[in-house]
Amino acid sequence: MNIIPALQCRSLDGWYPAQIQSSSDEDTRYVVHVNPWANRSEQHVCECKSYHYRGRCKHQAEAHKLHCGWNEMEGPEEATDEHKEKQDMPSLWRASYVEYVGIQWRI
């Protein structure tokens, strides 16, 4: 059995807060607690009144768009030897705030 190191985005380390700008008030930002394993935006939790009363809001969808979730095993882009050496992702196509990667193991 070979253990091969694989890169993954830090956004997959666990739940994390994302600040989303209010569309109706430029002085207000909402914190959305992003579930990194969610495949739908409704699985994130927001602090806004809409989420509190309805269980869903537009801030969840905005946070979901920003979530990177890249890992070397699922891609969609493959890491080159240069990326592996620098421990860097091939592309930050969705999340400009995610810059670091962790190591996960695949067997």
Tell me the pLDDT tens digit for each residue of 52-96. Answer: 999 999 999 999 988 877 777 776 666 667 666 666 665 543 433
Contacts (Cβ under 8 Å, ≥6 apart) of 96: none
Which residue is associated with the tokens 């997959």? 12
Q: How confident is the model at residue 22 (pLDDT cuts 50, 70, 90)?
A: very high
> Whole domain around residue 49: which residue ranges?
4-106
Mean predicted lDDT score pLDDT of the chain = 77
How many structural domains is the chain composed of?
A: 1
**How many C-beta atoms lie closer than 10 Å to residue 88's C-beta?**
16
Q: Taking 80 as the threshold, does the pLDDT of residue 21 lie above it?
A: yes
In the DSSP assignment, the letter for residue 37 is T
